[in-house]
Amino acid sequence: MTKGSDTDIGALLREKGLKATSARCALLELLERTERPLATFEIVDALQSQTNQATVYRAIEQLKSAGLLRRVEMGHTHAHYERNDEDSHHHHVICRSCDKTVHLDECTLSKDPKKSALKKTGFHTIEGHSLEFYGTCEDCAKNNKTTRHS
């Protein structure tokens, strides 16, 4: 019997030239089984039995540089992260009231803005972009209508 996810994550890290340390593996596993982007403090909380805050912070930075996780702008003062890989580029719709986050499974931008951005700025490369949509989810919209006291 092969235990899928452990070996995959180890291979993923080695592919990026990183050692499969327990902190890095635990971080990637955590983000893989969580359906929404996690705040840094939530990651530290979830992993505190296995490792310490400084190690988690370092692992986040290393995995971000390696392109294995990416920052999602939720409109909070703190950072949120989710798993990232080359084929998983996508955008989000985020509820401003409850933080419900829906992953849009494709890119809503064509390839052309990148070309024109390169041309306009004279940048050597543009490696990526991020774009999130903010609004009110159905539940929050309903709750606002029904609980209009105070």
Give the footprint of Zn ion on this chain (CB under 5 A): 39, 76, 82, 95, 97-98, 100, 103, 107, 109, 137, 140
Closer by beta carbon to Zn ion, 60 or else 82? 82
Closer by beta carbon to Zn ion, 98 or else 126? 98
The CB-of-62 to Zn ion minimum distance in angstroms stands at 20
The CB-of-94 to Zn ion minimum distance in angstroms stands at 9
The CB-of-64 to Zn ion minimum distance in angstroms stands at 15
Asked whether the beta carbons of 95 and 84 are under 8 A apart, the reply is no
User: How many angstroms separate the CA atoms of 46 and 3, rounded?
Assistant: 22
* Alpha-carbon distance values, 103 to 36, 37, 73, 106 (Å): 8, 10, 13, 9
Asked whether the beta carbons of 82 and 31 are under 8 A apart, the reply is yes
